[in-house]
Every structure is written in C-alpha cells, then in structure tokens.
Amino acid sequence: MATAPTSFDIQQVLFQLGIKPVNLGTSTGIERFSTGELFDSYSPVNGQLIAKVYATTAADYEQVMEAATEAFTFFRTVPAPKRGEMVRLFGDKLRKNKEALGKLVSYEMGKSLQEGYGEVQEMIDICDFAVGLSRQLHGLTMHSERPSHRMYEQYHPLGVVGIISAFNFPVAVWAWNTALAWICGDVCVWKPSEKTPLCGVACQNIIREVIQENDLPEGISCLINGDYKVGEMMSQDSRIPLLSATGSTRMGKSVAQTVAARLGKTLLELGGNNAIIVTPEADLKMTIIGAVFGAVGTAGQRCTSTRRLIVHESMYDKVKHALIDAYKQLRIGNPLDENNHVGPIIDKDSVAQYLQTLDAVVAEGGKLLIPGGVLSGEGYESGCYVQPAIAEVENAYAIVQKETFAPILYLIKYNGDLPNAIALQNGVVQGLSSAIMTNNLREAELFLSTLGSDCGIANVNIGTSGAEIGGAFGGEKETGGGRESGSDAWKVYMRRQTNTINYSSSLPLAQGIKFDLN
C-alpha cells in the first residue's frame, strides 16, 4: 500500500514557485500567456489533474522568437564573466527553491522525492560549473608559416538556442543546456515535455526574477509549451542555429532531418539500451546495488537506466538469485514518501508499452523471473504503478534490441572471455551508457580500450546511471552523438573562428604562392 505524505500541499508548492491558480471552471490552471488551447497536466502519483496549461500558437511562437532574437543582439555584447554573474544569481535562486521545485518534479513526473531534489541539485551544480567556465572560454594560438603573421582561434555566440527536453528529467536537462548557452552569449527558447509543463513554468518563473531584478531583456530565456507541433516550429526555424533535443530515437531522427535540411546544427540525446557486464571477478554486493538502482531508479525511465545485465555463466546463478531477493525488498509507492524506492511511471500509455514488452519477451521465448504487472489497491489509484520485472532473454531478441522506458531488466548469460560479453554489450543500435563489474585491472582496461565499450559513457564498478555534471554527457550510434554538461561541451553552443593577423608591411601568400602586380 502507498500512502501520500500528509504534509504535501501541491497548491502551496505551486504558489511558492509563482504558478498562480486562476478559475477555469472545475479545474485549476495557470496565468494565461498564450492564445492557444488548454492541455492537462496530470500527476502519475495519484492521477489527479494538477493544472491546465495553454499551448503555444504560431502567433505566440513568433512573438517569442522576436523577443529572443532582439535579446541576443544585446546579450552577445555582455562580457562572459558578467553573463556568468547572471547564472550565479540563478543558481542562488534555485538553492532557495530547491525543496519546492524538487517536490513539483516528484509530483508531476513521478520520480522519488530524493531524485527530485537531486535533479534540482544538478541544476545548481551546472550553474556553479558554468560560472567558473565563464572566465575560461578559451581559444588556441598557433604559429603561422608566414613571417610576421599571427594565427589564433576564438569562439563567438551562435544566437538563439532551441531546447526540447523530455519528461524524465523535466528541469535538469534544460539547465545543462541553458546554463552553458547563457555564459556563451546565446539566448534560449525552451519547449519542455507536454507531460511535465509545470516544471517548465516554475523554472521560467525563477529565471524571470533574475532577469527582471537585473534589468536584462526578457528574451534571454523563453518558454513555449505544447506537443510535437510546437517542436516542429523550432526544427523548421532558420533563426535557431542550434537545436538541442532530448527524447526518443524516432523523435531525434525527425528533428535531425528537418534541421539538417536547413543546414542547422543539432545536439541529440536519444535512446539508451545500457548494459552492465558482470565478470567472474566482480564484487557481488556492488553488482547487485548498481544493477538494482540502475534498473528501477526513476522507475526505469532514465535514458541511462540499466536495461541489460550480461553475466558470466560462472556467476549467473548467484547474480540471478541475489537479484530476485533484492527485488522482493523494493517498496513501491508514492514517490513523495521517502521510504519508497520506486514510484509510478509517467502515464497509462507508458504502462501499456510496459505490458506489451513483457508479452513480447514471452512470445520470443524469454522467461519472466519476476513477472511484473500493474499494481492496484489503495495508493495505486492512478494506474501508473507497476512491479519491476526481471526476464531471462537472449541479446538477439527483437524486443531486447528496443528501448522500453519502464523497469524491465534483461538477464543475459555469456560464456568464454570478456570480448564475448563486450560483443553482446555493443550488439545494439544504441550507444549511451555502459559499465563493467570486475576487480581485474586487465578486464577493466580492456573494457575502456578501443576494443571495449562503444558507448559515450563507460564505467568501472559503478552502474550505468548517475552521471556527474563535470563530464561530457552523451552517446554514440542511435543515441545521437551529442554531448552536454561538462568538459568542453560548451563549444557546441558557439561558432569557431580562425583569425590571421599580418603585422608586416608586405603580403606573403600561403604555401609560397607568388602573385606579383606592377
């Protein structure tokens, strides 16, 4: 049974985040900033309508883009450390609103309260990272082959950066993009998921306070809402030189084709089919903790969730029985109750996909060790709570090759040497995150070598999820190839320019070419 904490008051949380209810008949809505149709935001926690939100129309979108492009003409001239100061102030506002925003994330999306707070902390962390980076946007200098010439590279802002984010990280992924884009001198237009629109409104309210208090143009940060049709406006708009899109591979391919047709740039963070390899020299306790959290954290709705556990035959039975015992200890219920491990999945459409996947596993010959199913009864009235499932499968099954955004863990046996396991791990079209559990240095180094994991993220003795903001985040193959957050990911938000300065009194040409005029 799952019981809701009595101290939680969604109206109080919305009020603290500046989301003001207005009378819309029998339901609750937010202040109207659009002429579009209303769409609903339901909580998967209890199935209740939280609010109605106005979708962005084509006319609304045009106003937003005009404000953004105008703001860019000013913002690009502001020194980067000054732009960093704006981001620092935003981070301070997030600290003050961490509890309220974390609760809204948990309630609107369904992830555990600890994960909701953790997501806001990621926003704070990327702000701190961006503030320091604002004084380190560096270029390169190089020697010219021509005498009395100097060559160097520098970076300039791109312009309006479009951001399309997914429901599973309704605030952090936006912050990953926008904090870096801002210190680079770009302005941002954000379309959050239509499944979590209130999280977007809350974030916009927080940054709007910073913008107003510092007399900055409002177009520096813009919010639009709606379904895929609003995203299509962004994809087709040549005023957006870079579009960062997070979501399914299907969505990403559509965005990439449309943006490429106008020779724009994309930053894509798409599907994951992440695996942990468990070798004979793995620490069993660490393996179980990493695998279970990776598989059931956020109810299996992370792009970095552990989908496959590839286990050596000598360890297979031990791992299988330990996993089953661990799953029996999971507490499934209201994510705002910090005693629970697993909350709901986002909506009933996702529940249907979860059930279809379990049926497909059996149809292909797999065995359900923990059969899963939809939970019912007190506390589960939303119909979005499911039992995390474990299935014995073959890596080649068609259903295993697909990403299902739900808590389903595939158990796969391998024999022989580590290269056999690596081949299984790499044998999917996605390439986001991967891990190996081993105390053998040679195995760890092989996994990280050019002969090892083909993913953008490769870990040793930790799971596939839980990336830190200091490292570049992203993956290869059908994951899209984009990189966000740390390292040198800032470069994608800028255009590179090569400069040559001739400080002599003559004009020598490169490669020794002679061109003389009388």
Give me the active site residues, please.
269, 303
User: Angle, to 10 degrees, between the axis of helix 197-213 and the axis of helix 80-96?
Assistant: 120
Secondary structure class of 201 (helix, strand, coil): helix
How far is the C-alpha of 105 from the C-alpha of 251, rounded, in Å? Answer: 23
Q: What HEC string does 462-502 produce?
A: CCCCCCCCCCEECCEECCCCCCEECCCHHHHHEEEEEEEEE
How far is the C-alpha of 4 from the C-alpha of 333, rounded, in Å? Answer: 9
What are the structure tokens assigned to 270, written together?
Answer: 């798409």
How far is the C-alpha of 223 from the C-alpha of 401, rounded, in Å? Answer: 35
Close Cβ partners of 138 (under 8 Å, ≥ 6 residues apart):
none
Cross-strand pairs, 414: 312
Residue 136, Cβ neighbours under 10 Å: how many? Answer: 11
- Amino acid present at 145: E
Secondary structure class of 155 (helix, strand, coil): strand
Q: Decide if 366 contacts 359 (C-beta within 8 A).
A: no
Residue 305 main-chain phi, psi, to 5 deg: -60, 145
How far is the C-alpha of 298 from the C-alpha of 300, rounded, in Å? Answer: 5
How far is the C-alpha of 308 from the C-alpha of 326, rounded, in Å? Answer: 17
Q: What angle do CA 82, 241, 403 make, to 5 degrees?
A: 105
Q: What angle do CA 166, 244, 62 make, to 5 degrees?
A: 95
What are the structure tokens assigned to 222, written together?
Answer: 């813009």
How far is the C-alpha of 7 from the C-alpha of 5, rounded, in Å? Answer: 5
